[in-house]
Amino acid sequence: MESHAGIAWEPDDAYRERSRLRRFMARHGIGTYDELLTRATDDPGWYWGAVAAELELVWSRPYERVLDLSRGAPWAEWFTGGGFNYVTTALDRHVEIGRGGEIALIWEGDNGEVRRLTFGELQTETNRLSNALRDLGVGRGDRVGVFLPMLPETVAAVLALGKLGAVFLPMFSGFGPEALGSRLHDGEAKALITADGAFRRGATVPMKAIADEAMRLAPSVETCLVLRRTGETVAWTPGRDVWWHDVVPNASAEFAVVDTDANEPYMLIYTSGTTGRPKGAVHVHAGFPVKAAHDLATCFDLQADDTLFWLTDLGWMMGPWLICGGLIVGATLMLFEGTPEYPNPDRLWRLVEDHRVTVLGVAPTAIRALMGKGPDWVRARDRSSLRILGSTGETWNPGPWRWYFAEVGEGRCPVINYSGGTETSGGIVGCVTLRPIAPCGFNSPVPGMDADVVDAAGNPVRGEVGELVVRQPWVGMTRGFWRDPERYLETYWSRIPGVWVHGDWAEIDADGQWFIRGRSDDTLKVAGKRVGPAELESAATAHPAVQEAAAIGVPDEVKGEAIVVFAVPKPGIEPSDALAEEVRQTIAAQLGAALRPQRILWVADLPKTRNAKIMRRVIRAAYLGLAPGDVTALENPAAVKAIAAAGGRHGGLPETD
């Protein structure tokens, strides 16, 4: 399969002139982008020190050295000796320099309600909440769960806990009691911030009721602060439960930020594991927030006059990334409580039009779903404010990528493809607006990431699929897994000594474009031929009847592994055995007869996380009747049941209503 069909976008003079990356290079006497990448990997201490100055990070105590490798690469420390609380830079600094009256965030609710907060108003709300939480017994180092939909108060909660020196645990707003409780228990949370309920597609979600059940599994939780959102009646535990409106509005609007250390934890964020309990990635004040701001500034060219909207939830890393990174840069954040197609399929495009969004980020799955509604919903809305399109979370297929580029971005906005992870605080590979962009590709490693593609022995490979690795530590690298250092070392550092092995298959083509080919633990090997699931899925979606697809490998006595593809038909398409055979032959025609799937199975939906990642390992487990591992991030259990039924099994999942 071809990596790409030419170059889709090239920077013009306007993008070059605006580029803050170009200005950064000029300030440091760097003539070309390739020179910048080389200097950043040759001297990471210089690079990240220069980034700290570029982002105007505010230090309460100057750091002694940029990088300390005395404990080895897996435990690298950055900005050692420095005093740094990221909220000073993300919020207080903007007020101090006279931006207090400028808009910090715009919020639109599920029902269309709109609120706007200036930096000054956000600072006041944050300070009042910091004081209220301190009065409730929350202090430096305490872990606090945040189980809220995307609201202005959610941003205040994240910032208030940072100001206090507490460690916040972002939770997916769609979690059930067991998923929420297990994370609160594992993190030994002292408090939980939640809401009475949330709105979704015009209906209410009983968040407080879910939280009550979860707290039975987490006896460490002493206080539950409850925001009134829906107004519904909720159960109440005196002595533990406290209404937000009873304690926050009357608290002082003045709060002195806690003087935390640069390497002091500020966030414990859980990511699903293949087996066993979720992994709690530990992130520090001068880590994740700095990396998020760097990537937004460097890859997405985010600046203070931008409005940034990323369709996400707080429980996925893009939620905290949006909040801390966007505010450090000083941009306006756009938050959305609802779903992309409610009440109509133009909801996202209307948000862009109404709020003049300049940088828009979505997952490819959202685009695949919305393109099925037709282009008229997009074309009816004014997208002239858009300057940058972003995407992350999964691999693109060419058709949806081109639709996003041509229809949403009108063929003029670059698609900044961005791939990394929760443990990396953002991107390993991405795009920059100084280089041409190919469909579905990445035009660069993210500056400061010494990324490579290697074979099993760690040798670089080009023009073929290999493991995505990072050869040196970077700012934002997780400080290990919560109370499980051996699992962290085993997951990322055990395969190639001294090298971070990310777990993605990647490829660098002859033109220097990078492509992610799927998770390396998802990769199929059929009759000695290695193929990533994303490549098979792209071939399947090339058939006009297929909306999206997921490919897995199943045991085969002759080939070692055979391919099974689960396909979602486009709206109005009636699935049939004959149509499945057409799809099977389409894949064979594109990838070769050896990679013809054993079966094409039609399904109404694919199992996904809330941020739209297809959970292939869960699909495989359900189909084969194996234990599914961690499924707490699963958005739609019914899809797993349908796949298990296709394999004549229950998939190891408990029965659901």
State the DSSP string of 45-67. HHHHHHHHHHTT---SB--SEEE
Peptide bond into 445 cis (omega under 30): no
Q: Is the pLDDT of residue 523 over 80?
A: no
Predicted local distance difference test score (pLDDT) of residue 556: 81
The band of 558, judged by pLDDT with boundaries at 50, 70 and 90, is low
The pLDDT of residue 531 is above 90: no
Run of H or E residues at 534: helix 533-541
What are the two backbone dihedrals, phi and then psi, of residue 364, each rounded to the nearest 5 degrees? -55, -35
- This prediction has a pTM of 0.86
Among candidate residues 338, 400, 388, 324, the one with its CA nearest the CA of residue 360: 388
The tens digit of pLDDT for each residue in 373-425 reads 999 999 999 999 999 999 998 888 899 999 999 999 999 999 999 999 999 99
pLDDT (mean) for 542-548 = 94
pLDDT band for position 655 (50/70/90)? Answer: very low
Give, in words, the CATH class of 524-646: alpha beta
pLDDT at 174: 85
Instruction: Tell me the pLDDT of the chain averaged across its residues.
Output: 92
For residues 234 and 203, give the distance between their C-alpha atoms in angstroms, rounded to a whole number: 16
Q: Which two tokens stand for residue 24?
A: 């950064």
**How many of the other CB atoms lie within 10 Å of CB of 176?**
15
Cβ-Cβ contacts under 8 Å for 84 (sequence gap 6 or more) = 57, 58, 59, 60, 63, 260, 261, 262, 285, 286
What one-character-per-residue DSSP string does 2-22 give?
-S-SS--B---HHHHHH-HHH
Position 634 scores a pLDDT of 79
Architecture category of domain 88-247 in CATH = 3-Layer(aba) Sandwich (3.40)
CB atoms within 10 A of CB 249: 10
What is the SS3 assignment for 109? coil
Q: What are phi and psi of 23, to 5 degrees?
A: -65, -40
pLDDT for position 530: 61
Q: What is the pLDDT of residues 269-317, one digit of tens each?
A: 998 644 456 789 999 999 999 999 999 999 999 999 999 999 999 998 9
Q: What is the pLDDT of residues 157-183, one digit of tens each?
A: 999 999 999 999 999 898 888 889 989
| Eight-state DSSP code of residue 484 | -
pLDDT tens string 441-468: 999 999 999 999 999 899 999 999 999 9
* Percent of the chain whose pLDDT exceeds 70: 95
What token pair was written down for 494?
Answer: 């055990």
**Ranges in the chain annotated CATH 3.40.50.980:** 88-247
